[in-house]
Structure 1
Amino acid sequence: MVFAAPNDALARAEGVLHTDPPPLQASVAHQVIGIWQRDWGDMSLALHHLRRARALAARADSAERESDVLGTLGVALVHAGRTRQGLAAFERGIERGTGHTRARVLYRRAYSWWVLGHHREALDDLRRAITVLRQADDVIWTARALTLRATVHLALGAVDRADADFTAAEALWDTTGQEHDKADAVESRGLAAFRSGDVPAALRLLDEAEERYAKLGTPTFMLDIRRCEVLMAAGLAPEALAEADAAITVLDGIGGQSTRKAELLLAAARAARLAGDPGTATARAALAVRLFAGQRRTWWEAHAQLVLTEARVATGRSSGRLVADAVRVAERLSSFGAPAAPEGWLLAGRIALDLHWAEDAERYLAVAARSRRRGPPLARMTGWAAQALWARATGSGRGVLEACRRGLDVLDDHRTTLGASELRARATAQGAELAALAQQVSLERGGPRQLLVWSERWRATVLSAPPTRPPADPALLSGLTAYREIAARAEGARMDGRPVPTLEREQRRLEREIRSRTLHIRGESPEDGDRFDVGRLLERLGDGRLVEIAVLDGRVQVLLCGGGRVRRFVGGPVAEAEREAEHVQAGLRRLAHPGADARLPVVEAVGLRLEGLLLGEAAAHLGSGPVVVVPPARLHQVPWALLPSLRERVLSVSPSASSWLRARETEPTAGGRHVLVRGPGLATGGAEVPEVAGRYGRPTVLEHEDARVPRVLEELDGAALAHIAAHGTFRADSPMFSSLRMADGPLIVHDFERLARSPYRIILSSCDTARLASVGADELLGLVAALLPLGTAGVVASSAPVNDEAVVALMLALHKGVSAGLSLAEALRDARAALPGDALHQATGWAFTAFGAA
């Protein structure tokens, strides 16, 4: 019962002991309590009960009973970090037992070999055990042994063998009532899906396993470790670090397994390194190394040493000793047949390159590059990164570009399996180095056109195709409805000054549930192979100009496209530009309130400095036509209309030149509707809406109770023009929950992604609707980023808080131009010019930006 209904088994065992049973029965009861404490409780209590169980088995003069207890005790001792004693217990158990009992002890020793990282020894014990267990027709233990063998195969990278064993084990589990083992099988399937490169399936299976464990009331430390691994591969390293640290706290609180603590520390170290926190990574990895060494787990120790060396390098250190450390780790990982070995060789090659040890670097990188043609996508990415660096070291610019292209193609294929736009955006971080390396080579050896092509290759790629629509999942739809209700109640309570901790906890829970379900979505089909064409861009620009801003080695590179050519200019340090952009945002926030006129000259002066940093001499070559600015993700907070050379121009902003081309060529839906929406709580009540409605004949106007999310989404789908006057909220902590406030609660990014086709043009008369989160390599998450790939050709939105009354004047002027046939960018330029000259209205005009090309 202990793995079918753990808590019931514990209660039954304790009940048996209260009846003063004979030694044989008492031995079984103590063993059950020991197993429960070993896997879900206090290791010291587990060892006490298991030693008592062995003593009672000896008193009962039952060699088979003693053998069985010794197998359980061996596992406990290994998990407690007492490896030598644990292996000795197994030896004694194998000597004492025969036939079927010995096979069970062999299975337990195989499990311990796997925990210790001795995979070949584990497979040998499993081979011997499975033969006997099958002969004895022991379905449960045969299924356990097959599941374990599959897990060992995964550790060695043999995914096909693992899949065969998992399939055989599942067929057996279906005939049993072993609920905990069934949950473990689902968890292991999740690991297999991850190893084969299917991240959405891995997340779905791990979540399913967690639900099964929750019903049994058992902790899930192994599951936590595996989910951390998947989260890191999905680009969610901060979440992985938080999960690992939380699990360590729980494990320490119950006095749990030392082995699991070491593995959780390793997961936390890897997550911290990927999250850009080398200090935390170093501390966690160093402790993991000590624990693994004390536990005699050399396979695991080598992996922890790899992360520790990577973390030290991330702090900016390079030395011959670090090269030697990396080589030693890579050799140990190679000797184990560990799939992580190429990472070790790549690390050694990187450090050697930093030290200008060309021959050593080439040797190490050549070994790492062998992984580029086999294994899961991220392993092949490692190989192509090594190949690119090797080509760089040998002076082959063409070789660098070819390796970068091949590596990014691998990651492209991987990203198409991800349905959630958040995962697709974050996964691009894996290709950031290759994209930057190709840009650097293009800057040094190619012309501006080649640099433009490579700047586009890995910029805002998530917007190149619509995200996979969430399925008609009743649980997801129910979760979204419940989330809106709770969020609306919490907002109302806050406005009334009432405490809302319970509502906020429930809101966070629903956010986690919604996010989890959307991350399970698998990509439906590969993205098309439409590559960026510079010639097509120049043709479509006509007399306009497109300014693409790249960042290389911390400095702005300005690529000015138009007039049939691409020219390059040099800007200033990007870090300085980011600081000035933050100052501008602070200034605009203050100017949104009356009485801050004295700040206007200060903000204008910052705009002048930003122009020098971001455009440089290109500002003098913009011509007289419209201008499209394509900034990197980290500079999307810049209010571009504030820059003096852009202030009076027809100006639009696009996440990439490719997305501008797609928007330029997007056609509106025939006979599309005009939809005007007024959300609650606006200071002006959305005063522009009634007057704007008169410009469009018989538009659909949604206000008061009609402005509820389901109805709003229904009307927005495929509309020609939408105007939404509502309070906007940008969620930097979770950009997919950025929202517009409707009558029944927030309309969030996840809601917009359910549209078959978003409005051709959309005007967001709200605060902060143009704010976007920079994630991955050069990707954006937020309201505008959600709309562009869904069929929206143009958006007007604000990047800062704005004054409601000043917005009304701007919106009325904007719609005057739009209704007369102007593009959004043309209408916004004219609307700014029509505003009063005071600071409040000027700041409002600068805060709004036209995105896209409509």
Structure 2
Amino acid sequence: MSGWNEQENYRAPAAIRLFNRALAHADRAPDSPDRTELRVRVLYNLGRSVGETSGMAAAVATFDAARREADLLEDLKLRALLHGCIDHSQGMIVLRLGQPEQAVQWFGPMISFVEQEMSSAQEPVTSDLVRRLASSLIARAFANAAIRRAELAIADLERANALSREYELQDLYPYTLHAIANAYKQSGDLAEALRRYEDVSRFLSRQEQASLLSGVQLDHAEAMLMVGLSDEAGRALDEALPVMRKEKVHQDVAEVEMFRASAALLDDQLDLARRMAKRSQRKLEKRGSTWWMMAALIELWAHALQAKRVTNLLVQKALTLSEQLAANHLVDEARLAKLLAARLEVRRHRLVEGEELLRQLPSPRAVTPIDHRMQRRLVLAELALAKGNRRSALLHARKGLDELGSVRDQLGGLELVSATAVHGRELGVLAIRLVQESNDARQLFTWLERTRAQTYRYEPLEHVENPELAERIAEVRGLGRDLMRAGLDGRPTAELRSKLARAQREANRLGWNAQRWGRPRPMAGLRDVIAELGERAMVSFVVSGGDMAAVVVAGAKVRLVRLGDATEVLESAQKLHFDLNALAPDHLPPPLVQVIGASARKQADALDAKLIKPLVHLIGERELVVVPTGTLYAVPWGVIPSLHGRPVVTAPSATAWLAASQAERPATDKVLLVRGPNLGFADGELDRLAAHHEKATVLSGEDATAAKVLEHLDGADLVHVAAHGEHENENALFSRLELDDGPLFAHELGRLRTPPAHVVLAACSLALNRIRPGDEALGFAGAMLAGGTRTVVAAASKVGDEVSAAAMADYHRALVAGAAPAVALAEAMAKDPFRRPFLCLGSG
């Protein structure tokens, strides 16, 4: 029916004309039950369109007319069916007009009717009847979701999905999958939402239903942004944009640009955020979509962050936008716009006005997005600070970070757990600045632990095998080999690279779908840290307001030392890293070694002068535990003159170090030595190491496969891997060790039931390479530490094969003699620190 088509395309006036024409045709037909049934069906559809244009009263009058005519029918079953259809239609218009609580009851009659038919019918019910049941379940789910009854909504959607699968309703099946994912997202269960989006995306990809896939991709990207995966969402949206532009799907292009702007805003890419938001806003306004207001909010937010001076115009724009969003039922976004206005008023020192705007905002709901919650806490903290109440400001910061922690506690996969930190970044920066200004070293220590490296605060739960993830990683491994061969043969690689990127993305997202990553450990307290340190010292570096500082814990005392401008320090660390990479190759010409070595020593001296010498009066000759920040993660501390030959352990946080140091596990005396391909010197190296470890298992050649290495890693006391490796900048969990059958990925380490206690990564720079907001350090070594490995020895930069072999021979010799890992590594590095840039990570 054309009227129905017009109605489905939201063209109510045209639908009304066609429905009235249909009624006129029916009136000319002889009186009969068929004519009455037709009139009822036309009337209840007409009622929906009338409701869109003339409101509830006109719609109810039309529905009542349909009911009176339905009551004329003698067929009781048909009469009940039509009453169910009328009630469903009335429920739809009640829902559309913003009364979801009242709408719920209107879908019950159709559901009850079909259920009764299904239970009493002698023959299977028709697919049309099942479709009506599924449609009413879906509509009732939307109504329940709107009034925050998430469990009821999801139950109805799951049932509709099962019906669509059982009765092969091909169009409803992906629709219900998508709706279930949206319901979980709306309920705040982001981990489950991400899993469901992956399910429906894979289904639609297999069915080649690109038109439906684009909508799923948009909602999926929004869920990724809500959890903090701005980089992953940005990459996915960058891939989707060219395809959508080519297909000229203008609404989808505009929405993708809007979400891309949101990802850029989270990543502090303000120019990109404004550019994308403006493009999106223009397209959406042109199409008459109310979503233009959401794009405008992103652009305004980025503009406000860039503005050197806050003007009244910016505030008024935010308030106007808030009113427009509220008028269009975009409740959360309207509140966010008002929050922005309040924050701008605080920045203008109009505290009364800012406080009044905050007072107008209701408390967050259970399903309020976490990024909105963090913004509210941030504005409250900034207001308290502007009023001179530092204590209240810190209280709001702590409560906000606690809320963020509650979200993090429910997530699965390292990538998700580490990503959430982006939402608490501004709160953390504010708190650290306040505490540092107070010169309270003990309080600063506590806040550093509260704001950094939260990934390592979890005790991993026992792994549940995921065959699909294992299969996808095997595919990534195979595609990697194919890509390498194609490159060597001079064949085109573009298609293979695209397939590899897609397989990596799917594997990564499957990793998000795991059970909760772990049980949260309590944050390390100073008393416990001091007791565990004993005669050692701990140095936690921090950057705040452009300045570097250190919190030093030594001899039961805690001191704050200000170290001056951070820019030069971080630049020196970066330059040192580059120099060490350049020094790495074996058999460099002596003149080149001399020039590069001089540059490296210059940077090491600069770091010594800025970072270590100001602390000497506190740390003396003690062994050190260093908690770095930013590019300091890449510093091999043995190259610093004042630390030459001194045992140093690098840890992501005091909490992570304490947990690793106090971890108890029975010794197994299980030693594993692994040799990867293309290391000609390694035959002799492993033979020499095996002499130190008589019962060691040696895997080399065809035995050194990813599966066998993983099998033997499980439960090992000591593992030494001589293999090339590579860090993956865009996806740290695909950092890899090259083995005989291809790479072993950091992703796969989550499959270990009992992680090895002590791991040496001898021939590759796979330390804590990727640093996310909140000093969340990821990479191959990071995955091992987060998974429960106590100590990882790895290179902070590239290292020559022969140099690595010599350093590791010295290291194992000291280990066997009884030295602790940090002591053994200090002795090994001391012989040639700039060519042996290793770190002892974890507990040491």
TM-score (norm 1): 0.83
Cross-structure match for 2:32: none
State the Cα distance separating 1:421 from its structure 2 match: 0.8
Aligned with residue 390 of structure 1, among 369, 383, 387: 383
Cross-structure match for 1:769: 766
**Alignment partners' CA distance in 1, 2:799 and 2:611:** 25
- Note if contact 1:202-1:230 (Cα within 8 Å) is conserved in structure 2: yes
Distance 1:182 1:652, change over 3 A: same
Cross-structure match for 2:840: 850
Matches within 5 A, 1:491-510: 491-495=484-488, 497-510=490-503
Aligned with residue 600 of structure 1, among 587, 597, 600: 597
Matches within 5 A, 1:651-800: 651-667=648-664, 669-685=666-682, 687-800=684-797
Paired residue type of 2:765: D
- Note if contact 2:412-2:514 (Cα within 8 Å) is conserved in structure 1: yes
Paired residue type of 1:563: G
Cross-structure match for 1:234: 227
Matches within 5 A, 1:313-324: 313-317=304-308, 318-324=310-316
- Note if contact 1:549-1:558 (Cα within 8 Å) is conserved in structure 2: yes
Cross-structure match for 1:575: 567
Cross-structure match for 1:584: 576
Cross-structure match for 2:336: 343
Cross-structure match for 1:151: 142
Paired residue type of 2:261: A
Cross-structure match for 1:188: 179
Aligned with residue 205 of structure 1, among 189, 196, 220: 196
**Alignment partners' CA distance in 2, 1:272 and 1:145:** 39
Matches within 5 A, 1:401-480: 401-445=394-438, 447-468=440-461, 470-480=463-473
More deviation, 197-206/667-676: 667-676
**Alignment partners' CA distance in 2, 1:579 and 1:105:** 71
**Alignment partners' CA distance in 1, 2:373 and 2:272:** 28
More deviation, 364-373/726-735: 364-373
- Note if contact 1:54-1:69 (Cα within 8 Å) is conserved in structure 2: no
State the Cα distance separating 1:541 from its structure 2 match: 1.8
State the Cα distance separating 1:604 from its structure 2 match: 0.6
- Note if contact 1:388-1:399 (Cα within 8 Å) is conserved in structure 2: yes
Could you give the per-residue CA deviations for residues 669-725 of structure 1, whole angstroms, max 9, x where no partner exists? Answer: 323211111010124235321111101222111111111112111212121211110
Matches within 5 A, 1:536-575: 536-575=528-567
**Alignment partners' CA distance in 2, 1:121 and 1:666:** 55
Distance 1:824 1:164, change over 3 A: closer
Paired residue type of 1:231: M
1:278 equivalenced with 2:270 (yes/no): yes
More deviation, 711-720/741-750: 711-720
- Note if contact 1:93-1:105 (Cα within 8 Å) is conserved in structure 2: no
More deviation, 729-738/273-282: 273-282
Distance 1:247 1:142, change over 3 A: farther
Aligned-partner SS, 1:395: coil
Matches within 5 A, 1:573-652: 573-593=565-585, 594-595=588-589, 596-597=592-593, 598-615=595-612, 617-652=614-649
Identity across matched positions, percent:
27
- Note if contact 2:63-2:90 (Cα within 8 Å) is conserved in structure 1: no
- Note if contact 1:119-1:152 (Cα within 8 Å) is conserved in structure 2: no
Distance 1:526 1:793, change over 3 A: closer
**Alignment partners' CA distance in 2, 1:584 and 1:66:** 82
Could you give the per-residue CA deviations for residues 189-215 of structure 1, whole angstroms, max 9, x where no partner exists? Answer: 111112222222111212222234345
- Note if contact 1:67-1:92 (Cα within 8 Å) is conserved in structure 2: no
Cross-structure match for 1:221: 214
- Note if contact 1:725-1:764 (Cα within 8 Å) is conserved in structure 2: yes
More deviation, 571-580/145-154: 145-154
Aligned-partner SS, 1:732: coil
Distance 1:586 1:211, change over 3 A: closer
State the Cα distance separating 1:328 from its structure 2 match: 2.7
State the Cα distance separating 1:656 from its structure 2 match: 0.9
**Alignment partners' CA distance in 1, 2:487 and 2:283:** 48
**Alignment partners' CA distance in 2, 1:763 and 1:583:** 26
Paired residue type of 1:538: I
- Note if contact 1:272-1:278 (Cα within 8 Å) is conserved in structure 2: yes
- Note if contact 2:60-2:90 (Cα within 8 Å) is conserved in structure 1: no
Cross-structure match for 1:824: 821
State the Cα distance separating 1:797 from its structure 2 match: 0.6
**Alignment partners' CA distance in 2, 1:734 and 1:194:** 24
More deviation, 391-400/137-146: 137-146
Aligned-partner SS, 2:794: strand
Distance 1:616 1:65, change over 3 A: farther
Aligned-partner SS, 2:719: strand
Could you give the per-residue CA deviations for residues 278-309 of structure 1, whole angstroms, max 9, x where no partner exists? Answer: 223223333444455455555x3443332222
**Alignment partners' CA distance in 2, 1:111 and 1:226:** 23
State the Cα distance separating 1:655 from its structure 2 match: 1.0
- Note if contact 2:732-2:778 (Cα within 8 Å) is conserved in structure 1: yes
**Alignment partners' CA distance in 1, 2:281 and 2:406:** 35
Could you give the per-residue CA deviations for residues 76-111 of structure 1, whole angstroms, max 9, x where no partner exists? Answer: 9xxxxxx99999xx9999999997999989989998
Paired residue type of 1:185: T
- Note if contact 2:677-2:738 (Cα within 8 Å) is conserved in structure 1: yes
Aligned-partner SS, 1:415: helix
**Alignment partners' CA distance in 2, 1:506 and 1:517:** 16
Aligned-partner SS, 1:193: helix
**Alignment partners' CA distance in 2, 1:771 and 1:787:** 10
Aligned-partner SS, 2:363: helix
Paired residue type of 1:225: L
- Note if contact 2:704-2:739 (Cα within 8 Å) is conserved in structure 1: yes
RMSD over aligned CA atoms reads 4.0
**Alignment partners' CA distance in 1, 2:85 and 2:203:** 25
Distance 1:69 1:303, change over 3 A: farther
Unaligned runs of 5+ residues in structure 2 are 28-36, 71-80, 118-128
- Note if contact 1:716-1:759 (Cα within 8 Å) is conserved in structure 2: yes
Aligned with residue 533 of structure 1, among 522, 525, 529: 525
Paired residue type of 2:428: A
**Alignment partners' CA distance in 1, 2:282 and 2:831:** 69
1:266 equivalenced with 2:266 (yes/no): no
**Alignment partners' CA distance in 1, 2:85 and 2:301:** 40
**Alignment partners' CA distance in 2, 1:215 and 1:102:** 39
Cross-structure match for 2:124: none
State the Cα distance separating 1:131 from its structure 2 match: 6.1
Paired residue type of 2:381: A
- Note if contact 2:795-2:839 (Cα within 8 Å) is conserved in structure 1: yes
Distance 1:609 1:766, change over 3 A: same
TM-score (norm 2): 0.84
Paired residue type of 2:391: R
**Alignment partners' CA distance in 2, 1:102 and 1:241:** 48
- Note if contact 2:459-2:519 (Cα within 8 Å) is conserved in structure 1: no
State the Cα distance separating 1:65 from its structure 2 match: 8.9
